[in-house]
Amino acid sequence: MLTQLSINNYALINHLSIDFSSGLSIITGETGAGKSILLGALGLVLGNRADLSSLKDTSTKCVVEARVEISNYHLQDFFHAVDLDYEAETIIRREILPSGKSRAFVNDTPVKLTVLNELREKLIDVHSQHQTMQLSDVKFQFDILDALAKNTERVAMYKKDFSQLSLLKKELVAIETAQKEANQQYDYNFHLFTELEAAAIKSDEQEGLEENLDKLNNIEDIKLSLAESLELSVNEEVGLQSSLNALEFKVFRIASFSKEYKELADRVTSIKIEMDDIVSELENANENVSLDPDEVEKINDRLQLLYNLQKKHYVNSNEELLVVLEELSDKVRQVASAEDELHRKKEQIEAISKKLDAVAEKISKARTSAIPKLIKALEFLLSDLGMGNARFSIKAIPTSSYFVNGKDVLEFLFSANKGGNFGALKKVASGGELSRIMLSVKKVLSENMQLPTIIFDEIDTGVSGEVSNKIAAIMQQMSVNMQVIAITHLPQIAAKGSNHYKVYKEEINGITTTNLKELSSEERIFEIAEMLSGKEISDTALTHAKELLN
């Protein structure tokens, strides 16, 4: 419920702050007095786009603030979802700076305009003749029917499962697409995989093979070098081993004469031991060196296989080949397991579909049951509003398709004239008829669900005095369950309000300014009398105004 609206430096308004209460509030004023400015300011604070033309004084900022009582709207989850502090009395503020930039706040937390627009739908419903085309919107028609059918919880449950079904179907399509692509590549990938697997590649194999091949390719040089090395080492006359033996003998003869000589003797002995070990290894190496043509061919073939595989897969090492092997293994395995995954996904879709079918059937039955009540209520209200021949043909037709709110297709047809053909609302109903239908719909909805504050913006244009009385009565009945604000030119409607506000212009220092004030009981009499007879208020008009108010 809107409890207060404050406007500063907006259009023709310098400063204005007005309190609103529950029930039916009336706003009246001469044409051009600024009623549309009030709606513009309210739209601004609820997310409409703005520019510098909104500023009355372009040197200072424009501020519009609305206080809204939201404790009955169950908006805690919404506030949590958009990361806002929830307050039973929420303050929404919009600022337009002289630079043209705008800022929005909810309970002093900065928010984007998208959040304000979402909040607007939950708090304020501005209803004018321009909004009547909403009646032709299928979603809105379903909302009307589901409100009477008490389908709110069932539709919410259905939507949750419907989202899951949509996700599962997308996943199924993705799996089928991937499987199709994988199948097209399967034979080739399997061939590559088996080829690499059969190669039994080892990560450190190539370096060893290349080393062995290099050794075998230079076997003659190696054997010659080993032989010569042995000759230098063991030759009895000039060999290193013989020389070291002689050196050791000479040094040991003097080792006992000093510590220094003893250390030299030990070092020579150490060298001799190392030399003996080297000679032993040279002898072993020399004995083991032999040219094996089969071994050379075998190593060459193995290395050529590795080189070919690396070239084929555009890699430079066995380590990279092993990575390719793992990737090919995954692709082959995916194709092999895709059928199982596909089967599991189809089972999940079947299970959620059965669950949806059960809920959709309950929704459909509730809709079918509520249709006669809706038709009766609308036709009764429209009869009171001067449309005695209005008839509706509404059908919820079950289908096999899944829609976002059930499995029904809704046929919502209307005939305004006796014996006339039924047709879509936007084709067979006039603007005035649509306004009265929308009013009737809102009346029905107000009795079956918690509606936000509704503002009727001159929907009574062009109706007769008797019909205006009926419109006023409907608004008054609606205001029992919700806050209703009506902007009107008709005294019959104005007299029904529990609160009455007047929009007026005044000139201060040559500058025209729009103001709004709440009228006292005495002021209401004169305002309604003026609406009846014009500026020249007659005694008859005053009497009539008092009668209307009483």
Domains and CATH numbers, the chain: 1-128+458-519 (3.40.50.300), 178-337 (no CATH)
Residues 120, 104 contacting (CB under 8 angstroms) = no
Q: Dihedral sign, CA of 387, 380, 138, 70?
A: positive
Q: Distance (Å, rounded) from C-alpha 459 to C-alpha 56?
A: 29
Find, among 477, 165, 515, the residue nearest to 348 by Cα: 165
Q: Distance (Å, rounded) from C-alpha 359 to C-alpha 212?
A: 75
pLDDT tens per residue, range 269-325: 888 888 888 888 887 877 777 666 677 778 788 888 888 888 888 888 888 888 888
Supply the DSSP string of 504-532, one letter for each residue.
EEEEETTEEEEEEEE--HHHHHHHHHHHH
Q: What does pTM read for this prediction?
A: 0.67
Residue 130: predicted pLDDT: 63
Give 204's contacts (C-beta < 8 A, 6+ positions apart): 318
Residue 361: predicted pLDDT: 96
Residues of the chain short of pLDDT 70, as ranges, are 129-131, 183-184, 218, 235-238, 290-293, 336-337, 462
Element of type H or E holding 376: helix 318-384
Q: Distance (Å, rounded) from C-alpha 454 to C-alpha 450?
A: 11
- Maximum CA extent, the chain: 156
Residue 239: predicted pLDDT: 74
Residue 336: predicted pLDDT: 66
pLDDT tens per residue, range 135-162: 888 998 999 999 999 999 999 999 999 9
Q: Which two tokens stand for residue 191?
A: 């061939």
Q: Distance (Å, rounded) from C-alpha 147 to C-alpha 139?
A: 12
Q: Interior CA angle at 389 toward 385 and 394, to 5°?
A: 95
Residue 427: predicted pLDDT: 87
Beta strand segments in 84-225, E: 89-96, 102-106, 109-110, 124-127
Q: Distance (Å, rounded) from C-alpha 196 to C-alpha 500?
A: 88
